[in-house]
Amino acid sequence: MAQQMTIALDAMGGDRGPEVVVPGAELSAIRHPGLHFALFGDRSRIAPLLDRHPKLKDRSSIHHTDVFVAMDAKPSQALRQGRGKSSMWQAIDAVRKGEAQAAVSAGNTGALMAMARFILKTLPGIQRPAIAAIWPTLRGDSVVLDVGATIGADASQLVEFAVMGEAMARCLLGLEKPTVGLLNVGVEEIKGVEQVKEAGRLLRQLHLPLEYVGFVEGDDIGKGTVDVVVTEGFTGNIALKAAEGTAKQISTYLKLSLSRTLISKLGAFLAAGAFRALKDRMDPRKHNGGVFLGLNGVVVKSHGGTDALGFATAVDVAIEMVRNDLVNKIKTDVVEMGQLKSPAQVPQLADGTR
C-alpha cells in the first residue's frame, strides 16, 4: 500500500512556504521509500528547490498554482479568493479526487479547515470536525482534541470527538484499547459545565466500544492519565497554548539561570548531553501535526512557524493516518455509535441526573 501512496503538499503554506516544505518533504521521503509527493504552488519557487533536493525530486510532481492563501486571511475570504485555484485548495482537492491519500499544509488553520470541510465534507454521522493535537506526556504521547476547530461543542459533539480521538489513538499510538477521558474542572460527576456532564453520562450509557474512564483535569494531560483527552475547541486551544507558553517560559528561565555564573556555565557545558535529551523530549517539532478528524479524507496541519524537521513530522503523521486507515476506522465507529444512539438504547433516567 505504501508503494502507491501520494501525499499532497500545500507548498505555499507556512511562514516560509517552499523553503521549509521542500526540505521537510525530502526528510520524510528519505524515511518512507516508495512514497510520492504532489507539490502545489508556485513552480518558479518550487522547481529550483527541488533541484537541490534530488531525493525528493525523483518522486515528486509540481502542480503550479498562481494563488495562495495568506496566513492572516479570514476563512471566508480564503474560500472566496482561493477556491479552485489556490495551492491549499488544490492539495485538499487531490485527496477528494483520489490522486493523493492525504494533504499536509502549514498554512492558515481556519482557512485550511474551512476548505477541507467544503471539499471533503464531514463523514456521515459526524456533526462537526475536530483538530487533534499530539501531546507529549510523562507516559508517552496522548491525543488531545478538539484544539480549535469547533468552538462551543455540545454533548453529542463531544461524544463524537471521543470516538474519533480514540480511533486516532489506535492508529497513532498502536494501542488496542486507548483510554479516553473528558476534560473537566474536577473528577466528580457533579462538576463542570452542563455539556461536559451530559457527554460523560452519554459515554457511560451508550456502552461504546471504547475505554471511557471519566473526567480528567488540566494537569492530567501532562501526566498522561489517559490516552485521549476530549474537550471543546475553545478550552482545548487555550489549554494547549497555555502549556506551550509554560514550556517556553521554563526553557527561558533555565537558559537565564545557567548563564549567570562561570561555574553554572561549566555545569551546563558538562550536562550538555542531558540538556540535549531534555530539548529533544520537549522539541515541539517532534510533536507537530494537528490532525483534522471527521472528514472524508486525511488532512494534517503543520505549525506555520516550524522548520523542515517539524514539517517532516507533520507529513509522517499524515502517512501514519493513511497507513492505519484512520478514515475508515472512524467511519466504522461512527456507524456503530449511530446504532447505539438510537433512542431505545438511551434510557432517560427519572431524576435526570445520570
Q: Which residues bind its own copies (CB under 8 A)?
A: 74, 136-138, 148, 151-152, 183, 185, 188, 190, 192-194, 217-223, 231, 233-235, 237-250, 252-254, 257-258, 260-261, 263-264, 266-275, 277-278, 281-282
- CB closer to its own copies, 214 vs 218: 218
- CB closer to its own copies, 107 vs 297: 107
**Strands of the 290-293 sheet, one edge to the other:** 60-64, 36-41, 6-10, 102-105, 298-301, 290-293, 130-137, 140-145, 228-230, 179-183, 211-216
Please report how close the Cβ of residue 325 comes to its own copies at its closest, in angstroms. 31
- CB closer to its own copies, 242 vs 335: 242
Residue 262 CA: distances (Å) to CA of 239, 257, 268, 274, 278? 37, 11, 10, 19, 22
Please report how close the Cβ of residue 223 comes to its own copies at its closest, in angstroms. 6
- CB closer to its own copies, 216 vs 315: 216
Contact status, residue 129 vs residue 35, Cβ threshold 8 Å: no
Q: Tell me, rounded to whole angstroms, the distance of Cα 178 from its chain centroid.
A: 17
Q: What is the DSSP string of 165-196?
A: HHHHHHHHH--SS-EEEEE-S-SSTT-S-HHH
CA distance 327 to 291: 11
Q: Helix (H, G, I), strand (E, B), or coil: what is residue 108?
A: coil
Q: How many CA atoms lie within 13 A of 162 on its CB side?
A: 31
Please report how close the Cβ of residue 282 comes to its own copies at its closest, in angstroms. 7
Cell 555545569 found at: 267
Please report how close the Cβ of residue 45 comes to its own copies at its closest, in angstroms. 28
- CB closer to its own copies, 15 vs 325: 15
Q: Helix (H, G, I), strand (E, B), or coil: what is residue 3?
A: helix
Nearest to 222 by CA among 168, 183, 266: 183
Torsion angle in degrees (nearest 10) through CA of 114, 166, 321, 75 = 10
The enclosing H or E element of 102 equals: strand 102-105
Please report how close the Cβ of residue 152 comes to its own copies at its closest, in angstroms. 5
- CB closer to its own copies, 118 vs 234: 234
- CB closer to its own copies, 192 vs 289: 192
Please report how close the Cβ of residue 11 comes to its own copies at its closest, in angstroms. 25
- CB closer to its own copies, 14 vs 297: 14
Contact status, residue 315 vs residue 25, Cβ threshold 8 Å: yes
Contact status, residue 142 vs residue 219, Cβ threshold 8 Å: no
Please report how close the Cβ of residue 203 comes to its own copies at its closest, in angstroms. 18
Please report how close the Cβ of residue 121 comes to its own copies at its closest, in angstroms. 24
